[in-house]
Amino acid sequence: MSEPENAEAPIPHPASKRHPGLIQRYAGACLIVFSSLVGIGLLCAGWIVLHGVSTRDNPTVLEETAARAMRHLAVPAGERRRVNPVPQTPESLAEGRAHWADHCASCHGNDGRGNTEIGQHLFPKAPDMTLPKTQALTDGELYAIIKNGVRLTGMPAWGSPGSAEDPQTWKLVLFIRNLQHLTPEELDQMKSMNPVSPMELEEQRKADDFLNGGDVPEPASPSHHPARPRASRKEIP
């Protein structure tokens, strides 16, 4: 038997009434996340109040984990997948080694282990780049970190800005991959390429004058100003 033509169709319930628990469930999850972030922020603020902001401290596990996660996310996926276009040859490695000695060794050391006065007083400290935490990064990640720098650290951006290819930076990536294979002879060669401050140049000049029959050089007064890498040792006459 058919239904009467004038029978009223059932009125659909609004979406909010069909799923009354959905909004409440997500609202509770958002509240939990927000409360957790506020709690973490308060803990960090309390830590800073108690311990100050000295760069002599080592980063906590939470800081290190968060920093590495943010650094990973800051490199676009397409950049991470890039492969070094510069072939590894003795010439390209030598160029990367010379560039490293002149631009990067002040913080990272010639051997990449970060055991320098500047590197150990940064926050976070310059890493040991021979360890898996650095070597496990892709070529694209290393390139992006060198070229664009890392915010809120001592790592500056190197090279020309923009998306243009930078062969010198790719050669630095090659050098980083070969840090564990540096020979004593190569390390000695790099020492002659390290930057020299004006004070060190003056001390060298006085020492040369003394060796040539001049007066005994006076010891340099201590200074808290960082050395300015203007000249290289290879430029000393």
Contact predicate 185/202, CB 8 Å: no
Which amino acid is it at 195?
P
Helix runs in 2-76, H state only: 15-18, 20-51, 61-74
Q: Which domains does the chain have, with CATH numbers?
A: 61-180 (1.10.760.10)
- Tens digit of pLDDT for each residue in 188-202? 999 999 998 788 788
DSSP 44-56: HHHHHHHHTT-TT
Which amino acid is it at 72?
H
Confidence of residue 237 (pLDDT cuts 50, 70, 90): very low
Number of residues assigned to the chain: 237
- Tens digit of pLDDT for each residue in 142-156? 999 999 998 888 899
pTM for the complete prediction?
0.67
Please give the average per-residue pLDDT across 33-40, as a whole number. Answer: 79
Which amino acid is it at 176?
I
Q: Which residue has the tokens 């628990």?
A: 21
Higher local confidence (pLDDT), 59 or 233: 59
Mean pLDDT of the chain: 81
Confidence of residue 184 (pLDDT cuts 50, 70, 90): very high
Would you state the pLDDT for residue 165? Answer: 86
Please state, in angstroms and as integers, the Cα–Cα distance from residue 161 to each residue in 9, 69, 102, 173, 183, following that order: 66, 24, 20, 18, 33
- Would you state the torsion angle of the CA atoms of residues 163, 169, 171, 176, taken in this order, to the nearest 10 degrees? -130
The span from the CA of 232 to the CA of 8, in Å, is 92
Would you state the pLDDT for residue 216? Answer: 58
Which two three-digit tokens encode residue 208? 């040369």
- Judged against a pLDDT cut of 50, whether residue 234 lies above it is answered with no
- Judged against a pLDDT cut of 90, whether residue 205 lies above it is answered with no
- Tens digit of pLDDT for each residue in 66-121? 788 888 888 888 999 999 999 999 999 999 999 999 999 999 999 999 999 999 99
DSSP state of 195: E
Would you state the pLDDT for residue 4? Answer: 55
The span from the CA of 215 to the CA of 194, in Å, is 28
